Copies of this chain bind each other. A is one copy, B any other.
Amino acid sequence: MSIGKAVERKDALAKVSGRAKFTEDFAVKGLKHAVYVRSTIAHGRVTAIDTQKARKIPGVRAIFTYEDVPQNLFATAGHPYAMDRAAADVADRLLLTRNVRLEGDEIAIVVADTELIARQAAALVEVEYETYTVLVTPEAVLSADARKIHPGGNIVGAHSYEVGGEIKVAEKEAEIVLEGEYSTSMVQHCHLENHIAYAYMEDSGNIVIVSSTQIPHIARRITSEAIDFPVGNIKVVKPYIGGGFGAKQDVVIEPMVAFLTWKMNGTPVQINLTREETIATTRTRHPFYGKARGGISGDGELKFLDLDVISVTGAYASHGHAIAFAGGSKTCTMYPRSVIRYNAKTIYANMPCAGAMRAYGTPQVVFITECLMEDMARKAEIDPLEFRLRNVGLPGDTNPYNKQKILTHGLKECLEKGRELFDWDGKKKAYADKKTGSLRSGIGVACFSYASGTYPGNVEIASCRLVLNPDGSVHVHVGATEIGQGSDTAFAQMAAETTGIDYVNVKVISTQDTDYTPFDTGAYASRQTYVNGQAVYKAAVGLREKILTYAELITGQAKEVLTIAGDRVVYCAQPEKTVLTLRDLATDSYYHKNRGGQITSEVSFKTQTNAPSFGCTFVDVDVDIELCKVYIKKIINIHDSGKIINPMTAKGQVHGGMFMSIGAALFEELLVDEVSGRIYNNNLLDYKFPTITDTPDLGCAFVETDEPTSSYGVKSLGEPPTISPAPAIRNAIRDATGVAPDRLPMSPKSLFVQFKQAGLI
């Protein structure tokens, strides 16, 4: 049996040997290179553009400006098509624009023989602007006289709900009511491989796009919409991809390469963004500004949470208000027995466009929630862990927002397991007298919840095709994309488990090609093992049945007495006795002249459930008061992600997520000038991404529940690890110093101000 074992990743050798081929490793002959001409201002309008000098550079093949592109607005968010058009993403983009909304906005594009020539020529395009006041802060954006960044105004979306009772009633029952303001910063995904794509045409009717994307089938649809080209005539190929974290759940450059090859008679054209372009002009994480109120009873019962948030999407909507929407819903599964009000608004601003980023708004809302929870516990003088243990949801609780019963809810168990592994009580005692002096010690905890997919917000479709090869091995075809998270490995384990075939003989086709790949919307929302796992399961049941039926046909043994073990068909009753090998069976099915055929099994399936996952972080910090620097001595994440398919890859996911949250907690912030809209740190030297020397040992543990709505008992694991470390660190800093930081990152620069204010320095 394969599930639950730390089998080697399917892509391990390809990646460690450097043989894995990424988009840039392939090409078609005659490839041309495209470079954007980007605005040098953050808000305004192009009044004149002169491409004459640029066109004279030898090797320049074409220049397109905002005047040359289709005028149909499109949305770039990587969501399935919404049958309910009212729920569709905001279409506010053109391929190129004369209306500048951020520094680096795309107003023209140069295509040349080499990237260097294209960059030289792009720099020679002369642009004149009419400039407008730059709107960066929510106050500026929402002020009555603010210019509309988009024709529809500066608010992308808003919603509000109050569930589990009424705040005004709960407030009366509360003995302690606390209010706080907490905010998070704009950070960037920093995936290793920048955005890259190329396109070419094989005839005048069909476009091929090769792209580093999380969502090939969606990229195909959105390209179709953006350039008004039939979706059936576009094919998107996704080779190995060097990370995405949500930045590539957005259709950033695919429509443009498709447009260019189309307009250039099929000439192959590539866009390969620089790190600077990727950081400042693709997608970021929405900064959130939260006002939070909560009330508790005297003995620590959480009566209500009242959250009011503003999410800033920057220059374009991208995923827009969906982020604030999704981020807010998790509080209801964490604390389902309290009254919860959530009021959210997403606004434009003249700064980089925010999109999907690992955990999709949840780190922001959970930061706000878990800061407030901590501060209420402190105010009530209740141990913060005890406070959470008392109030977190339990199996069988009902989510007050969607009225769904929560079948598996391991949060309390996670907290209890963490208490023990972390030695919460021992550390608490030990640090009681380390709250003064230059180096102070503290501990913190924070909880989270997350979803498994997007249902019922979006359709959850997944498909799988299994093919028995002539040598008895199996190919797994899925539209669900391996983006480094290990999904291919998990699917292979699932198929091996259910068919009975050796894991080593189950191979997942890692490259998606929308012409061939069974339809799936791609890698996002931590949906793969939960949603697509169910398609793999059904396909594997089907394949096993077909193999045993064929074994019966050629051996005359009733299929009921047969089963598959490794590379053989055996007797159920005597698994050591080979009836025939899968190789012989497959050879017969392919090559016998009068029977058989290729043995395949295919399903396309819609999931109509969505199981919440849970977890928490415990962290132990030293804070150097003079240096305003935080040292993480121990940090551990405990997850209820249902059953764990592969403990090794699961651990990898947890480590990566924790690292990302530590970065957001202590280091990272994309700095934008409030007057000019200019980005100060659009490179990895100035954008203080933590390195391995900044990273503590990362602890991780699992509480394995068995989620009944899932084929293999799994729940989401990809994004969850990046949610709770930041608030846990914040709470530990508060424990150590008495100072309660209210914004991210808690960098020395930021802590200095707060420590000074508190009189610590």
Chain A residues near B (Cβ < 8 Å): 11, 13-14, 17, 19-21, 24-29, 80-83, 200-206, 221, 224, 230-233, 240, 265-266, 455-456, 458-461, 463, 469-475, 477, 505, 507, 509-510, 513, 515-519, 587-588, 590-600, 602-606, 608
CB distance from A265 to the nearest CB of B (A): 8
B residues in contact with A231, CB < 8 Å: 469-471
A463–B597 CB distance below 8 A: yes
B residues in contact with A21, CB < 8 Å: 28, 200, 202
CA distance A587 to B594 in the complex (A): 40
CB distance from A462 to the nearest CB of B (A): 9
Contact A28 B29, CB 8 Å, known A461-B598, A470-B231: no
Contact A597 B588, CB 8 Å, known A21-B202, A231-B470: no
Name A13's closest neighbour in chain B (CB-CB).
B203
CB distance from A424 to the nearest CB of B (A): 43
CA distance A754 to B161 in the complex (A): 101
Contact A593 B605, CB 8 Å, known A29-B24, A233-B507, A516-B516: no
Q: List 8 A-B contacts (CB under 8 A).
A: A14-B202, A21-B202, A24-B29, A26-B28, A83-B593, A231-B471, A232-B471, A602-B602
CA distance A13 to B517 in the complex (A): 26
Contact A232 B507, CB 8 Å, known A456-B593, A600-B604: yes
B24–A27 CB distance below 8 A: no
CA distance A269 to B403 in the complex (A): 60
CB distance from A25 to the nearest CB of B (A): 5
B19–A590 CB distance below 8 A: no
Contact A455 B593, CB 8 Å, known A203-B11, A204-B19, A266-B19: yes
CA distance A248 to B470 in the complex (A): 22
CA distance A591 to B232 in the complex (A): 16
A602–B600 CB distance below 8 A: yes
From the candidates B19, B266, B600, B602, name the one contacting A203 in the complex (CB within 8 A). Answer: B19
B509–A83 CB distance below 8 A: no
10 smallest A-B Cβ distances: which pairs? Answer: A597-B604, A232-B473, A14-B203, A598-B604, A232-B469, A516-B516, A13-B203, A519-B598, A19-B266, A459-B593
CA distance A559 to B278 in the complex (A): 51
Name A515's closest neighbour in chain B (CB-CB).
B509
B509–A516 CB distance below 8 A: yes
B residues in contact with A509, CB < 8 Å: 515-516
CA distance A19 to B518 in the complex (A): 27
From the candidates B81, B230, B591, name the one contacting A587 in the complex (CB within 8 A). Answer: B81
CA distance A596 to B605 in the complex (A): 7
CA distance A471 to B220 in the complex (A): 12
Listed residue (A13, A510, A603) with the most chain B CB atoms within 10 angstroms of its CB: A13
CB distance from A673 to the nearest CB of B (A): 39
CA distance A221 to B518 in the complex (A): 25
Contact A81 B591, CB 8 Å, known A29-B27, A598-B518: yes
Name A235's closest neighbour in chain B (CB-CB).
B509
Contact A83 B469, CB 8 Å, known A232-B507, A463-B597: no
In addition to A19-B266, A221-B470, 18 A-B residue pairs with Cβ atoms within 8 Å of each other are A20-B202, A26-B29, A27-B29, A80-B590, A81-B587, A224-B471, A231-B471, A232-B473, A455-B593, A463-B598, A594-B606, A594-B608, A596-B606, A597-B603, A597-B605, A597-B606, A598-B604, A600-B602
CA distance A5 to B266 in the complex (A): 29
CA distance A488 to B398 in the complex (A): 56
CB distance from A582 to the nearest CB of B (A): 11
CA distance A191 to B429 in the complex (A): 84
A19–B592 CB distance below 8 A: no
B residues in contact with A221, CB < 8 Å: 470
Name A475's closest neighbour in chain B (CB-CB).
B515
Contact A606 B600, CB 8 Å, known A20-B202, A231-B470, A590-B461: no
CB distance from A600 to the nearest CB of B (A): 7
CB distance from A204 to the nearest CB of B (A): 5
A595–B588 CB distance below 8 A: no
B606–A205 CB distance below 8 A: no
CA distance A515 to B517 in the complex (A): 11
A25–B19 CB distance below 8 A: no
B residues in contact with A471, CB < 8 Å: 224, 230-232
A588–B201 CB distance below 8 A: no
CA distance A200 to B588 in the complex (A): 30
Name A27's closest neighbour in chain B (CB-CB).
B27
B597–A81 CB distance below 8 A: no
CA distance A518 to B468 in the complex (A): 11
B residues in contact with A593, CB < 8 Å: 83, 455-456, 458-460, 606, 608
CB distance from A508 to the nearest CB of B (A): 10
A592–B232 CB distance below 8 A: no
Name A16's closest neighbour in chain B (CB-CB).
B203
Contact A590 B81, CB 8 Å, known A221-B470, A231-B470, A597-B463: yes
B residues in contact with A232, CB < 8 Å: 469-475, 505, 507
B residues in contact with A81, CB < 8 Å: 470, 587, 590-591
CA distance A470 to B460 in the complex (A): 15
Listed residue (A14, A461, A598) with the most chain B CB atoms within 10 angstroms of its CB: A598
B residues in contact with A587, CB < 8 Å: 81, 83
Name A604's closest neighbour in chain B (CB-CB).
B597
CA distance A517 to B598 in the complex (A): 11
CB distance from A594 to the nearest CB of B (A): 6
B residues in contact with A470, CB < 8 Å: 81, 221, 231-232
CB distance from A82 to the nearest CB of B (A): 7
CA distance A599 to B455 in the complex (A): 21
CB distance from A57 to the nearest CB of B (A): 26
CB distance from A233 to the nearest CB of B (A): 7
